[in-house]
Structure 1
Amino acid sequence: MKVFTDSLGTRVELRFDESIEARHILVIPTFNGKYVFTRHKKRGVEFPGGKLEDRETIYDAVCRELFEETGAKVKTITYLGTYTVYDEEPFNKAAYKVEVDAFIEKCDYHETLGPVLYEHLEDIHEKDKSILLKDPCIQYLYDQTKTM
């Protein structure tokens, strides 16, 4: 287990046990050697993710959220870890590295403006980054994908 404190001072615990039930997902996708981000309309550039819908499997949620926010189709999915955010109401979020097979251009990317690709997280201007990209747990997970 790894322990982090987010920018709001909230405790975050990362475990590497895929059996932990999670209702939220984070996707760290790559395509042709670049990381795939989405530009959220309010928060800025971030990795895709969201909540599971009723009766949806975690893998279905990964594919759906990635497609909704970027138009990307999944080639491979690799589990990274599950982190618990000890907010007023604690929640678990499972994180996955995804290799993207292809993109389908869409007219609507839900609450985002579609995909943006960067070679490195550090290539994104600080003012454009969502608060989520500044989160130490998400940065740790990103760093882990560099060696995969």
Structure 2
Amino acid sequence: MRYKDPNGLFVDLQFKEQIEAQHAKHVLAIPIYNNQIVLTHHKIRGIELPGGKVEKNETNKEAVIRELYEETGAKAKCAMFIASYIVHDKIPFDKDVYIVNVEEIFEKNDYLETYGPIIVDNINEVNEEDKSFLLKDKAILTCLERVYELGFLK
């Protein structure tokens, strides 16, 4: 799927069952806990799905599990790759997307750049003005739709 984002940049989104080559420098988690979605409240951007940068010597799957824990305190039971997308800017920006089944959520003293977890039945429960631009992004919303289509959320 190809579309133009609000900044006029082309975005390519592809659903896949497995990573063909680990090239994305960023990851995004769609965490599911007791049939609910685990979001995080970023201190600057607002409410969004957890994710971030892949660190040196780290696989993308390891990165998504780490980012999820850092931003929400959620311990992953398993993570399944479902999609990748690339934003065609001067320096292209790519991201791998994972469905993550959450085993448990721990309270932490520090969630780094976030205020911690927010658990919702549906992202429509989040006020529009509280949503990060990422939670309004067509690629991310399409990935969320895919999670429902695959039966991971009801």
TM-score category by the smaller chain?
Answer: over 0.9
Query: Do residues 55 (structure 1) and 57 (structure 2) align?
Result: yes
Matched ranges for 1:1-148 at <5 A:
2-17=1-16, 18-20=19-21, 21-147=23-149, 148=151
CA distance in 2, matches of 1:87, 1:43: 20
CA distance in 2, matches of 1:6, 1:125: 21
Structure 1 letter corresponding to 2:20: S
Task: Name stretches of at least 5 consecutive residues in structure 2 with no aligned partner.
Answer: none
Q: CA deviation at 1:76?
A: 1.7
Q: CA deviation at 1:126?
A: 0.3
Using structure 1 for the length normalisation, give the TM-score: 0.95
User: Helix, strand or coil for the counterpart of 1:55?
Assistant: coil
Deviation string, structure 1 residues 93-147 (Cα, Å, up to 9, x no partner) = 0000111000111010010000001101111110000000111111000111113
Structure 1 letter corresponding to 2:116: G
CA distance in 1, matches of 2:110, 2:4: 35
Q: Percent sequence identity over matched residues?
A: 43
Task: Name stretches of at least 5 consecutive residues in structure 1 with no aligned partner.
Answer: none
Which stretch of structure 1 is more off in the superposition, 4-13 or 32-41?
4-13
| Length, aligned pairs only | 147
Contact 1:5 1:136 in 2 (8 A): no
Q: Which runs of 4+ in 1 moved over 6 A?
A: none
Contact 2:65 2:79 in 1 (8 A): no
CA distance in 2, matches of 1:100, 1:53: 22
CA distance in 2, matches of 1:129, 1:73: 24
CA distance in 1, matches of 2:95, 2:38: 19
Q: CA deviation at 1:16?
A: 3.1
Structure 1 letter corresponding to 2:34: N
Q: CA deviation at 1:59?
A: 1.2
Q: CA deviation at 1:26?
A: 0.6
Q: CA deviation at 1:33?
A: 1.1
CA distance in 1, matches of 2:49, 2:4: 19
